[in-house]
Structure 1
Amino acid sequence: MTAALLVTLTMVVLVATGALAVLVAGAVGMAPLALGLGFALYGGIVLVVQPFLGVAVLTTFSQLDAIEKLLFGFLPFSFFKTLALATALAILANGLRLRDHVRVMLQQPVVVLAIVFLMLTVVSMAGAEDKVMALASMRKMLSLVLLLLLVAMLADTPRKVAVLLWILVATSLVSSLILLVDFVLGMQLVAQSDAATTARTAEGVARSSGGSDYNPTTAASMLLVGVVFALVHALESPVWRWRLLMIAGIGSIAVVMSFARSAALAYGLVGLVLVWRYRRWQHLPLAIAAMALVGVAALPFIPAEYWERLSSLFGGAADPTLGRRFTYNLIGIDLFLHHPVFGVGPGNFVHHFTDNDYRYLPGRTLLGRELHNMYLSVVVQYGLVGAFPFFAMLVICFRQLRAVQATPCSEAMRVQALALGFAFAAYLVASLFLPNEETKYTWLLAGLSTALFVANRKELARK
């Protein structure tokens, strides 16, 4: 059976089944259900014909999940997870056409290590004290690894990889604009979750997550990805240079107004590396002068609370959240020493955080908290056995991006690999202060890294 015939038969079955469901729902007087089934039918047909569109939408809503919930929050199920599952089924429907690329991707170290890590979560769960928490964390990890697989398998050409990378930039711009409007108006335009709507600084200033429903600090780390990508691309290539610099400028202001110290620190470190890298660039003095001018002009609009928040990193202001995070790490180290091999189990740091053994530690609360350090969090909850494939996956991502820069199939691919490498690095620096192992961008960026590597290698083989 040919791939085209299989896809055609799949579409016929889908249309027939969907049409029957719509007719039945309409006949029994359930018009809203009939309308919803009609849209689902149309979406299913589009996915079967072009499953990459599913990945493009998933990439968009990975950061703009607050907008996703605003649009689809009325559904009794998660639109994001349902779309991910539907996209996976669309790959199966296109199995014959995509089989060669899927086979190649299943042999890629990043994909293999992600699957191994997912399998080892089951081993870690066996020793977890709170099985409910462990199971919930495993379900989340399953959807995250699926996101990586979908990106890797469907972004099979340089053009498709580029589309997803530009979506990262576009969503960061959208989230930045929403965040700035939130700050000016003193309200939340789209955010709905408690984590996004109740966050305040120690000085009492309301914080915004922009277009995300994550907490403002995590949202800032995702926003930073698109900002750094745009900045590095603008420095490295004349393509859309001034537009990208404008986007990077807007995003930089948004990073400041997010009051996220981790994002500011990561951005500052990356900025220093970029200044050193481009120290011989003929336009560097002009660029620094322009940035300094913009910075001076923006000073009156930056609230004093932001400087107080930053100064707390160096002991300049009291901030109880820093003490709490130090306590998180102390508890994490103690748990690791007692469970070094398989860890305490997925999601179980929250369970152990409230243990009586830690009741006298400064900053400890009666409510369970996550360990705000992705690297230590992975080691604590999954042990050394689970942490090895996770860390190895991240290392190989950068090796693959470096390989593309060394032997690119085109100048565009070289610039994209370099920009993605800096953006990913900034995100991982910010992850020193965040539990980002369960954040979509960790797995999305890993999938993009290996997709870019394989697409570049395929193009080189054709030449």
Structure 2
Amino acid sequence: MRRRPFGRHGTAAGGGSDGPGSDGPGSRGGADGRGTDKGGTDGYDAQAAAAPRRVGGRVPGAGPADHRFGTVIAVGLTGDGRPHRSGAGTLLGALGLAGLAATGQTAILLALGLAAGAGLLAVLIAAPGAGALALIAMAQLDGVVEIANRASPVSLFKLLSAATLAALALLLARTKARTGRPAPSGPVVLSLFFALWVALTHFLSPMGAAGREQTIDLLSTLLLVPIIALSLGTARDLDRAVLILAASGAISALLVLLEAKGGIRLTPVIDAQDIADWRGEIRSSGGSAENPTTAAQLIAVSFMVAVVMALRDPARRWLWAALAGLCLMGLPLMGARSAILATGTGLALLAWRYRRHPRFPLAMAACVAGGLALLPFVPASLWERFDVLGDLFDGGNTSDRTLLRRISYNLIGLDLLSQNPVFGTGPGGFPQHYAGADYRWYPGRELMPRRLHNAYLEVAAETGLVGLGLFLGALGGAVTMALRAARGMGAAAARASALGHALVVFLVASLFMPNEDIKYLWILVALCAKAAWLARKDPA
């Protein structure tokens, strides 16, 4: 896995998370169809006569379900219904000839790899949503995926992202009809403008190579927005995405339980310093390749999705409740204060929105009972982590250097923003300035470069107020659209509610970590926009 020069959340040597021991570096690696009218021919055959003619991008006599995203792509790829040469078939044939011509072992392996890639591309063309759903599943369970990555020369997530983008590009190039495709939503458009602004600030920045990797990581993460927006076009796709969000968090929480209570670790350690310990207690990242704090925030997102769906989906209430229970048992064992605070904020918002529901008192009683049942799972170190927060109100006299570092992060970020409020320092600029001589006397400061543990202030410091405005516009627009769509009573409103509340949880958590390049943030933005559009299109 390609690593950053100074880690995701810390130094080159590593570090902890948001606990009192350290700050914790992390590491991460890292279409709808447009139908085509080719026109007819002067000849006549039975097959052409039997094929339905497209009128204005629609097939006469077909119901609304026939014009879903996948159906439109299928019709678009076949034009007016007559058989024609397939670009994918031609490509497969060419690759087959290349494989036969290969004589050396390297050439054979290359031919097999190209053939597998062509097969994957064909699958994604036939089912565009499959690639996006797989990417959503891999986003939180990237620690599990790392097992396969170690046997592969290329990151599987990046490979699947590239294949999905290629499939979408082929579909868009070969089809013209816009049936079944939503107009670009505000959050999607703003996220794309934010990506352009990030690239611009990088080119204008004097950071050069020091910020190149951060820029590439952020831009590659932002690609998830158009991938999801173009790939997931039906209510069934979105329902699967919501289930994957909740289930992946439950799986990660189960791995936390196995490691914390049974001493069994099934996933590889990406960086030994990522699994930080404080006062003798190891902090697990579960199924994630992130540091324990970020991994806990991802599980908090999954928990909120499962809780809301348990309230809004009676048919599968016990499934959602079981997933939420697993997430809740694993969450405190990870020792992340920010994840606990964000989860509490999400639950408070949920309680406020449902305060007039006839079953609200029963739900509150269940929450209290669940909290009491959870107490045995709370390690003593987590209570100590919250206890040291009181030191901030005791003249700032604290042994927790994490708190001092966080104060310094924000003070330095504000100073950098004041120096260049329009373009900022450029992506990846904050860690270099943090380690510079100008800020060497700030409290808790360390010698090695570190990122600003506040996503909003880091975006402002590195891309200026323009970048911050685009960033907040995309996030705020996604939350607003989802929560407005959640006012209905159907399944579409339930999905929008779950995604909207989950994004709120992650936005609160981002006050304490540099989450602007975490995959889940932009996955949630795209899903919220898609859920709001589907709720308007088909509220059932």
Residue 274 of structure 1 deviates from its aligned partner by 3.0
- Is 1:264 aligned to 2:343, yes or no? no
Q: Deviations over 1:115-164 (max 9, x none)?
A: 11111113312342321132212211221121110101111111111111
Which segments of 5 or more consecutive residues in structure 2 lack a partner in the other structure? Answer: 1-37, 39-74, 393-397
Which segments of 5 or more consecutive residues in structure 1 lack a partner in the other structure? Answer: none
Q: Which amino acid aligns with 2:501?
A: F
Q: Which amino acid aligns with 2:260?
A: F
Partners of 1:457 and 1:267 in 2: CA distance = 28
Instruction: Count residues in correspondence.
Output: 456
Q: CA RMSD in A?
A: 2.5
Alpha carbons 1:354, 1:367 under 8 Å: kept: yes
Q: 2:505 aligns with which of 419, 426, 429?
A: 426
The answer to which of 233-242 and 356-365 deviates more is: 233-242
Residue 75 of structure 1 deviates from its aligned partner by 2.0
Q: Which amino acid aligns with 2:447?
A: L
Partners of 1:164 and 1:253 in 2: CA distance = 23
Q: 1:331 aligns with which of 409, 412, 428?
A: 412
Partners of 1:195 and 1:377 in 2: CA distance = 26
Q: 1:369 aligns with which of 450, 462, 466?
A: 450
Q: 1:109 aligns with which of 186, 189, 192?
A: 186
Q: 2:383 aligns with which of 297, 307, 315?
A: 307
Residue 72 of structure 1 deviates from its aligned partner by 2.7
Q: 2:302 aligns with which of 223, 226, 230?
A: 226
2:25 aligned residue: none
Alpha carbons 1:377, 1:435 under 8 Å: kept: yes
- Is 1:100 aligned to 2:178, yes or no? yes
Residue 280 of structure 1 deviates from its aligned partner by 4.8
- Is 1:380 aligned to 2:458, yes or no? no
Partners of 2:100 and 2:260 in 1: CA distance = 48
Q: Which amino acid aligns with 1:314?
A: G
2:89 aligned residue: 12
2:532 aligned residue: 453
Residue 20 of structure 1 deviates from its aligned partner by 2.8
- Is 1:3 aligned to 2:76, yes or no? yes
The 3 A distance-change label for structure 1 pair 287 and 112 is closer
Q: 1:253 aligns with which of 320, 326, 329?
A: 329
Alpha carbons 1:216, 1:260 under 8 Å: kept: yes
Partners of 1:448 and 1:212 in 2: CA distance = 21
Q: Which amino acid aligns with 1:77?
A: V
Partners of 1:117 and 1:200 in 2: CA distance = 37
Alpha carbons 1:121, 1:346 under 8 Å: kept: yes
Q: Deviations over 1:371-404 (max 9, x none)?
A: 0001101100000111111111111112211332
Residue 98 of structure 1 deviates from its aligned partner by 7.4
Alpha carbons 1:191, 1:212 under 8 Å: kept: no
2:251 aligned residue: 174
**3-state SS in 1 of match to 2:267:** coil
Q: 1:349 aligns with which of 421, 430, 434?
A: 430
Partners of 2:448 and 2:499 in 1: CA distance = 37
Partners of 1:102 and 1:357 in 2: CA distance = 55
The 3 A distance-change label for structure 1 pair 28 and 156 is same
Residue 198 of structure 1 deviates from its aligned partner by 3.2
Show structure 1 runs of 4+ deviating over 6 A.
Answer: none
The answer to which of 212-221 and 191-200 deviates more is: 191-200
Partners of 1:196 and 1:173 in 2: CA distance = 24
Residue 312 of structure 1 deviates from its aligned partner by 2.0
- Is 1:50 aligned to 2:127, yes or no? yes
The 3 A distance-change label for structure 1 pair 249 and 374 is same
The answer to which of 314-323 and 221-230 deviates more is: 314-323
2:316 aligned residue: 240
Q: Which amino acid aligns with 1:264?
A: I
The 3 A distance-change label for structure 1 pair 274 and 29 is closer
Alpha carbons 2:493, 2:535 under 8 Å: kept: no
Larger helix fraction of residues: 1
- Is 1:319 aligned to 2:397, yes or no? no
The 3 A distance-change label for structure 1 pair 252 and 101 is farther
Q: Which amino acid aligns with 1:134?
A: G
Q: Which amino acid aligns with 1:306?
A: L
Partners of 2:367 and 2:182 in 1: CA distance = 44
- Is 1:63 aligned to 2:150, yes or no? no
Q: 1:403 aligns with which of 480, 484, 490?
A: 484
Alpha carbons 1:196, 1:209 under 8 Å: kept: no
Q: Deviations over 1:320-348 (max 9, x none)?
A: 21211111111111111111111000111
The answer to which of 1-10 and 236-245 deviates more is: 1-10
Alpha carbons 2:224, 2:522 under 8 Å: kept: yes
Partners of 1:241 and 1:94 in 2: CA distance = 37
The answer to which of 29-38 and 160-169 deviates more is: 29-38
Alpha carbons 1:195, 1:213 under 8 Å: kept: no
- Spell out the pairing of 1:107-186 with structure 2 (5 A cutoff): 107-186=184-263
Alpha carbons 1:91, 1:98 under 8 Å: kept: no
TM-score, reference length from structure 1 = 0.91
The 3 A distance-change label for structure 1 pair 196 and 46 is farther
TM-score, reference length from structure 2 = 0.79
Alpha carbons 2:293, 2:334 under 8 Å: kept: yes
The 3 A distance-change label for structure 1 pair 103 and 162 is closer
Partners of 2:345 and 2:498 in 1: CA distance = 15
Residue 278 of structure 1 deviates from its aligned partner by 3.7
Bigger Cα Rg: 2
Partners of 2:352 and 2:530 in 1: CA distance = 29
Partners of 1:98 and 1:61 in 2: CA distance = 32
**3-state SS in 2 of match to 1:315:** helix
Partners of 2:537 and 2:375 in 1: CA distance = 49
